[in-house]
Amino acid sequence: MIEVKNLVKKYGNHLAIDHLDFKIEQGKIYGFLGPNGAGKSTTMNIMTGYLGATQGEVIINGHDILKEPEEAKKDIGYLPEIPPLYTEMTVREYLGFAAELKRIPKGEWESSIEEVMKLTKLMDVRDRLIRNLSKGYKQRVGLAQAVLGFPDIIILDEPTVGLDPKQIIEIRELIRNLAKKHTVILSSHILAEVREVCDYIMIISKGKLVASDTPENLEHLMDGAESVEIEAKADASKMREILDRIPEIASVKTEAQENGITAAVITTKQHQDIREKIFLTFAEAKCPLLTLKSNRASLEEIFLELTQGEAVLNKDEKEDETNAGDL
């Protein structure tokens, strides 16, 4: 389990991580989602002990990453945004070097390295110099190094960046397989990727955690996120009179159409699917319902709303900070 408590990172005056708090439970795939510059890499670098925090704590399986780095780091495999590959080594040599750094017992090197090379489909290039590999293969070498020794927690910073679509599918498949036995944390600025692969999404914006939940729950997150559009053969007042019989409705906006038809956008109270009720109420009132469709806010809309909202908020906060600094 990972606990991140009150984490703050400042680069000079720039607040890159702004009091982050979260817990990561065993055996799931977590996604850090956020626009460029949100603080994903900084958070991962601190969690893996590559970077010190200005304030706060990271506890990995009971060990503080700063106070007991050796203990904490042995449970983590990390693929940084730019993997530190030794390009003059062959793939096999580099993984041998990584096995030594990870203190994998020498007798297990051969089998461990072969296992990760098979998993990341590197067997064919094992004797090639890393500098001669394509970007996709280099990424796989970084991934193989992260997975080597099969640590409890595997942290991957933008694991599919720069890969072609086929490689992306393969890496996602690999991540799903890893998650059968490991906790995987990955970062991405691509919503579709996080939604497809992760069990749990943490949306980061301007160094703050602005939402964290399962993809399904995030889609239910916002108040009034569900709306229903209808058209019926009735005037606006008749339509309102019928809709008044449904207590789950929060608001109604009507618009007259041609031929005695009125359209309405109905906002429901949170998490309620009232389409069936609408249908039956109009049927009871003997009023023909011509269209009935539900509009749920997509995860894209939620992501944009959360990250843009935060960006505005932070701009104001930053101005406050600057002013305070000037005093």
Ligand X SMILES: Nc1ncnc2c1ncn2[C@@H]1O[C@H](COP(=O)(O)OP(=O)(O)OP(=O)(O)O)[C@@H](O)[C@H]1O
Three-class SS state of 321: helix
Q: Work out how close the CB of 57 gets to ligand X at its nearest, in angstroms, rounded to a whole number.
A: 18
Residue numbers 173-192 binding ligand X by CB under 6 A: 189
Question: Cα-flanking dihedrals φ and ψ of residue 2, to 5°?
Answer: -115, 135
CA 164 to chain centre: 21
Q: Which residues contact 226 (CB under 8 A, 6 or more apart)?
A: 267, 268, 270, 271, 272, 273, 294, 295, 296, 297
- Taking CB under 6 A as the rule, does residue 208 contact ligand X? no
Residue selected from 42, 167, 205, 307 as contacting ligand X according to rule CB under 6 A:
42
Which residue in 4, 40, 91, 122 binds ligand X (CB under 6 A)? Answer: 40
3-state secondary structure of 149: coil
Stretch that binds ligand X, among 30-38, 59-67, 107-115, 296-304 (CB under 6 A): 30-38
Shortest reach from residue 308's CB to ligand X, in Å: 15
Interface characters, 85-114, with ligand X (x: CB under 6 A): ------------------------------
**Does residue 34 bind ligand X (CB under 6 A)?**
yes
39 interacts with ligand X by CB under 6 A: yes
Is 37 or 215 the residue whose CB approaches ligand X more closely? 37
CA distance 47 to 58: 6
Cα separation, 72 vs 19, whole angstroms: 21
Q: Among residues 5, 8, 19, 37, which is the contact residue for ligand X, using CB under 6 A?
A: 37
Rounded to a whole number of angstroms, the minimum distance from the CB of residue 11 to ligand X is: 3
Give the Cα-Cα-Cα angle 292, 261, 226 (nearest 5 degrees): 30
Binding part of the chain for ligand X, among 31-39, 170-178, 252-260, 287-295 by CB under 6 A, reads 31-39
CA angle 98, 102, 104 (to 5 degrees): 100
Helix (H) / strand (E) element for 117: namely helix 106-119
13 scored as a contact of ligand X (CB under 6 A): no
Distance of alpha carbon 267 from alpha carbon 199, whole angstroms: 29
> Taking a C-beta distance cutoff of 8 angstroms, is the pair 127, 91 a contact?
yes
- Residue closer to ligand X (CB basis): 13 or 259: 13
Cβ-based nearer residue to ligand X, 184 or 186: 186
Judged by CB under 6 A, does residue 14 bind ligand X?
Answer: yes
Residue 163 lies near ligand X (rule: CB under 6 A): no
Residues forming the site for ligand X (CB under 6 A):
11, 14, 16, 34, 36-42, 81, 189
